[in-house]
């Protein structure tokens, strides 16, 4: 069961989210490539997962009874890597190897090279189907682990995503919860300009799914939504988490141009200064 949150734990999770954001900036600067907006926007949710929601063991990442966290939109992997490093899966120093030759921290996650990563992701639209397979396996093996799948809103323009929802409408796997990062951006612009998704909630409900909406930066509200999803034993739950792309860095927030762009040295310094002003442990300093 997921424990209820108290104020002290909320503060802890918010500080972790801030640390994650700082690490994301550091990683992207070092790599010289990668995605900024999505990872910053999802830091609160990844903090909640790795430091409160998930049943997992960083010292035993292949523990068969662990919860599974599937990342469908693999391009936001810097936020996952940062959370995993802070949780103890690997040394924080390794984050500086993002996107380098022979690194375990590929620009899109590679399941077989980094323990704790559940799926290889690159082509968008595949994650929900991958998560369905894991959830079915859990049912067949009579395991009580839960599968969570994080997916972007933009990949809901992919046909495979809706085929997966059609399957769930028939089979209703209650050991699977899907989280949609609803930040309204993709690499070419705003989702509603490129290929409108609304009314998204009603579309999902038409498949018979249990749909919740939440502020993705309100950690208490997000954890409460996950708790409600876990208590729904008849249907698969989908949480639409509204997030601000580039959250915490003023010149990146709500700017689709930062979807797939890393900061340069000057921009990284400005971003880190803003994040440190918001609070949280200072990870490193730029001269």
Give tens-digit pLDDT for 10-62.
Answer: 999 999 999 999 999 999 999 999 999 999 999 999 999 999 999 999 999 99
Q: What is the pLDDT of residue 122?
A: 80
Whether 216 maps to a domain, the answer reads yes
Query: What's the confidence (pLDDT) of residue 1?
Result: 82
pLDDT of residue 54: 98
**Residue 123's pLDDT band (boundaries 50, 70, 90)?**
confident
In a domain, residue 217? The reply is: yes
Q: How many structural domains compose the chain? A: 1
CA distance 120 to 142: 25
Q: Give the 3-state DSSP-derived string for the chain, with helices as H, strands as E and coil as C.
A: CCCCCCHHHHHHHHHHHHHHHHHHHHHHHHHCCCCCHHHHHCHHHHHHHHHHHCCCCCCCCCCCCCCEEEECCHHHHHHHHHHHHHHCCCCHHHHHHCCCCCCCCCCCCCCCCCCCCCCCCCCCCCHHHHHHHHHHHHHHCCCCCCEEEEEECHHHHCHHHHHHHHHHHHHCCCCEEEEEEECCEECCEEHHHHCCCCCHHHHHHCCCCEEEEEECCCHHHHHHHHHHHHHCCCCCEEEEEECCCCCCCCCCCCCHHHCCCCCCHHHHHHHHHHHHHHCCCCCCCCC
Instruction: Specify if 283 maps to a domain.
Output: no
Average pLDDT over the chain, rounded to an integer: 95
Contact 147, 131 (CB under 8 A): yes
Digit-coded pLDDT (tens) for 204-228 = 999 999 999 999 999 999 999 999 9
Is 26 a domain residue? yes
CATH number at residue 48: 3.40.50.970
Domain-located, residue 143: yes
Please report the pLDDT score of residue 285 as a whole number: 43
Lowest-pLDDT choice from 63-67, 86-90, 95-99, 281-285: 281-285
Flag whether 287 is in a domain. Answer: no
pLDDT digits (tens, 9 = 90+) for 231-241: 999 999 999 99
In a domain, 183, yes or no: yes
> For residue 82, what are its two tokens?
């940062």
Q: Worst-scoring range by mean pLDDT, 112-126, 150-164, 175-189?
A: 112-126
Overall average pLDDT of the 73-96 stretch:
98
Domain that holds residue 27: 7-278
């Amino acid at each position: 069961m997921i424990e209820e949150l108290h104020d002290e734990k909320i503060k802890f999770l918010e500080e972790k989210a801030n640390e994650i954001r700082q690490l994301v900036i550091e990683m992207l600067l070092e790599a010289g490539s990668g995605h900024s907006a999505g990872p910053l926007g999802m830091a609160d949710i990844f903090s909640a997962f790795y430091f409160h929601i998930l049943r997992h063991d960083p010292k035993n990442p292949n523990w068969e009874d662990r919860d599974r966290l599937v990342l469908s939109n693999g391009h936001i992997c810097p936020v996952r890597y940062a959370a995993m490093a802070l949780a103890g899966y690997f040394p924080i120093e390794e984050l500086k190897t993002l996107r380098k030759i022979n690194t375990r921290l590929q620009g899109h996650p590679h399941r077989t090279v980094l323990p704790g990563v559940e799926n290889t992701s690159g082509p968008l639209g595949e994650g929900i189907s991958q998560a369905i397979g894991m959830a079915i396996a859990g049912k067949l093996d009579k395991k009580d682990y839960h599968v969570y799948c994080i997916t972007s809103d933009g990949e809901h323009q992919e046909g495979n995503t809706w085929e997966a929802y059609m399957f769930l409408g028939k089979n209703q796997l209650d050991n699977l919860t899907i989280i949609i990062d609803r930040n309204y951006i993709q690499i070419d612009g705003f989702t509603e300009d490129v290929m409108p998704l609304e009314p998204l909630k009603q579309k999902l409900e038409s498949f018979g799914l249990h749909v919740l909406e939440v502020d993705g930066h309100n950690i208490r509200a997000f954890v409460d939504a996950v708790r409600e999803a876990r208590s729904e034993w008849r249907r698969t739950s989908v949480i639409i988490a509204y997030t601000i792309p580039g959250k915490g860095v003023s010149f990146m927030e709500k700017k689709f141009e930062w979807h797939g762009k890393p900061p340069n040295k000057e921009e990284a310094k400005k971003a880190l200064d803003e994040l440190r002003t918001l609070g949280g442990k200072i990870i490193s300093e730029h001269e």
